[in-house]
């Protein structure tokens, strides 16, 4: 079976997915869609895609697709995902699920009605370093997390839409969701969150600094300190678990140290091309389409992460811990 895929949104991630899909066998990128007609024509010509659209509904109806990748700014995720699911398509929806909990719930409910064909682009699930740590949690070398953390310092992206809360949903919603997903993936069900967010950068409508702590049902604590006001980038993350500790000096890779309470220890430099993470993600999505299976990262993950995000913003506003209803 050749999977016929369309892409909506030809910005950074849309064109990136397009380039990677050309490297995967059994895939035909059949149609492209963007509101910028010239951009669609340019990219379609560059990659040899015959069908080009500026109207996503027309593409869903006429292009003969099996699946679609939605890579627009978050404001448009709800409408696009709902229409694609109603059209019977498998959907790879770039994170986050939406800009707010109400829109996310509509996507969630539509997915349930139309046979669980939604995958959310939490790509860290397919990164080799994050997968390795998860395996060590599961096989008992590390065991269940007690305390996990992530520090992410950087600069606010130049994209005008990211700086607009109505379009992006905010820094936590648009960017920190990757880490929030990992916290949930590693430690399980969240029960409450305490946070503080604020804005340092002028002329933006989003927060650009946030610190939050998630408490999980098993007692684990997950803390993130994220800033888009830093004068240089710096990232590190790790966890202390029942049986051991893991630390990473970096993000997708870097200096990794893993030890356990038996005195066993390993240290290495994790190096992997970013393409490999996204290729794994895309290949998993394509296999789900071919076999009619539910994606590994699906609407359940999407709605839980969105509920955590919603609670982070609410906690900061109210200056109190907020329970997360799952």
pLDDT tens per residue, range 219-278:
999 999 999 999 999 999 999 999 999 999 999 999 999 999 999 999 999 999 999 999
| Separation of alpha carbons 161 and 182, rounded Å | 25
pLDDT for position 205: 96
* Domain covering 3-122, topology: Rossmann fold (3.40.50)
Q: Is the pLDDT of residue 326 over 90?
A: no
Residues forming a β-bridge with 323: 192
Q: What is the mean pLDDT of residues 118-138?
A: 99
64 within 8 A of 30, measured Cβ to Cβ? yes
Tens of pLDDT, residues 171-219: 999 999 999 999 999 999 999 999 999 999 999 999 999 999 999 999 9
- Residue 104 to residues 91, 93, 179, 293: CA-CA distances in angstroms? 14, 12, 18, 22
Domain range list for the chain: 3-122, 125-277+306-323
HSE-CB for 41 with a 13 A CA cutoff: 3
Percent of the chain with pLDDT over 70: 100
- The structure's pTM equals 0.97
Tens of pLDDT, residues 59-105: 999 999 999 999 999 999 999 999 999 999 999 999 999 999 999 99
CATH assignment of 125-277+306-323, among 3.30.470.30, 3.10.20.740, 3.30.360.10, 3.20.20.100: 3.30.360.10
Burial grade of 320 (CB within 10 A; 0-12, 13-18, 19 or more): exposed
Confidence band, pLDDT 50/70/90 cuts, at residue 153: very high
Q: Is the pLDDT of residue 115 over 90?
A: no
> Per the structure block, which two tokens stand in for 79?
């409408």
Q: Is the pLDDT of residue 57 over 90?
A: yes
- Residue 251 to residues 179, 268, 272: CA-CA distances in angstroms? 10, 14, 11
Tens of pLDDT, residues 280-298: 999 999 999 999 999 999 9
pLDDT for position 128: 98
DSSP string covering 100-155:
SHHHHHHHHHHHHHTTS-EEEE-GGGG-HHHHHHHHHHHTSSS-SEEEEEEEEEEE
* Cis ω before 258 (30° cut-off from 0): no
Q: What is the mean pLDDT of residues 139-151?
A: 98
């Amino acid at each position: 079976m050749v999977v016929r895929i369309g892409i909506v949104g030809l910005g950074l991630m849309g064109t990136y997915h397009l380039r990677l899909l050309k490297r995967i066998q059994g895939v035909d990128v059949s149609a492209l869609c963007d509101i910028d007609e010239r951009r669609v024509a340019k990219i379609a010509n560059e990659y040899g895609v015959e069908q080009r659209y500026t109207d996503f509904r027309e593409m869903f109806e006429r292009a003969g697709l099996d699946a679609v990748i939605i890579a627009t700014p978050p404001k448009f995720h709800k409408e696009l995902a709902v229409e694609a699911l109603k059209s019977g398509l498998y959907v790879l929806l770039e994170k986050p699920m939406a800009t707010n909990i109400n829109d996310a719930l509509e996507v969630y409910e539509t997915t349930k009605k139309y046979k669980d064909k939604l995958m959310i682009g939490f790509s860290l699930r397919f990164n080799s370093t994050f997968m390795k740590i998860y395996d060590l949690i599961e096989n008992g070398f590390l065991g269940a997390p007690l305390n996990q953390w992530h520090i992410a310092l950087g600069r606010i992206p130049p994209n005008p839409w990211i700086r607009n809360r109505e379009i992006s949903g905010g820094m936590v919603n648009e960017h920190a969701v990757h880490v929030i997903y990992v916290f949930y993936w590693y430690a399980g069900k969240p029960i409450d969150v305490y946070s503080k967010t604020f804005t340092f950068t002028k002329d933006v409508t989003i927060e650009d600094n946030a610190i939050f702590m998630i408490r999980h049902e098993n007692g684990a604590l997950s803390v993130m300190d994220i800033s888009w006001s830093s004068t240089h980038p710096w990232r590190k993350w790790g966890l202390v678990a029942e049986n051991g500790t893991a630390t990473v000096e970096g993000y997708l890779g870097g200096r990794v140290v893993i030890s356990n309470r038996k005195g066993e220890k390993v240290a290495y430099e994790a190096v992997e091309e970013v393409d490999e993470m996204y290729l794994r993600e895309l290949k998993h999505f394509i296999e789900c389409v071919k076999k009619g299976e539910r994606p590994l990262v699906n609407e359940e993950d999407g709605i839980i992460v969105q509920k955590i995000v919603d609670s982070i913003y609410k906690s900061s506003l109210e200056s109190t811990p907020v329970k997360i209803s799952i």
